[in-house]
Structure 1
């Protein structure tokens, strides 16, 4: 993964600063520390590898989390300090995930794994790869020959399914309410529904990453 920005997404605290310095010294490329409030203002035109420090970030449909998951190109992710119980479904929600490290991994394993990732390899246990494959084989496809939703339309429908209002969706995706209305109008036409209730029911049946 040459010529990529490498960022540690965490909170601004002494622990995160020490981790950033350790990784920079051990891995070679300079690593930028960004927090959940500032990283949205970064210029994403250049490819980036995001090291997501889950132990020091608020999660579960936070604005920064939804913003990051909206990217499909130019960004790859590695999850740090994951829970032991992370599932294939949760792992696949992150854009271009290259690996994950649980909270009990030792420093040597972390550095060795991230070194592999920076060379373009994945650091995912075989058992998880099998689970991911089985999950992908079991889910209903998001698109059919007649329905092709954009990644942003999928994000909006997922949030709608979680009971969010247009204003709340706009705030979480960092766009205007008018933009959300436009996404919903286009999505409703594609999935052939007439209202939010029908759209919510459709999303629960057809969006594999729905987290109800």
Structure 2
């Protein structure tokens, strides 16, 4: 039997922790092994339980989620940290990535989608929700004119980039371009390697900044 993916929930709200527990309890792949009410407890539980993933709230008393993320990643770099918050401030997303977080989930997304996204995090696919893709778009649409540096991507890589920027999953990109999911993954790896970036969020932000993708008519 495959061992479940071990998760710690770090959130100062008992109601929020209970809500996340309710979402995860029916998913056999995941096992909640601990709950932390603040950053200090999250640090202590990580050292004691050695989890695979931490679902981290941003706003906690004492050490907030961002600083706790930085400290945990410096000591336990293997632990995946996903910021889970009600905040829709895109600057929090960028700051979380700088601190070492692998991803960012809004608490108000449909609970049925949690499994899809957390499983992707576990598989190192680092997904990006359509909600966050839209927020990144809005953030960069308000900035100055793009830099428009040379784009080194192939036509197919550019197609993949355009769909990533809309928040499409690997499966959705596969269906759209009539290629396998494995091919999508390889294209994405090549794109990230070419541009020296780490994940979809950094890629989307960089592409908007350089003017390589235009505002889509729809995110559907």
Calculate the TM-score normalised by the size of structure 2: 0.48
| TM-score, structure 1 as length reference | 0.49
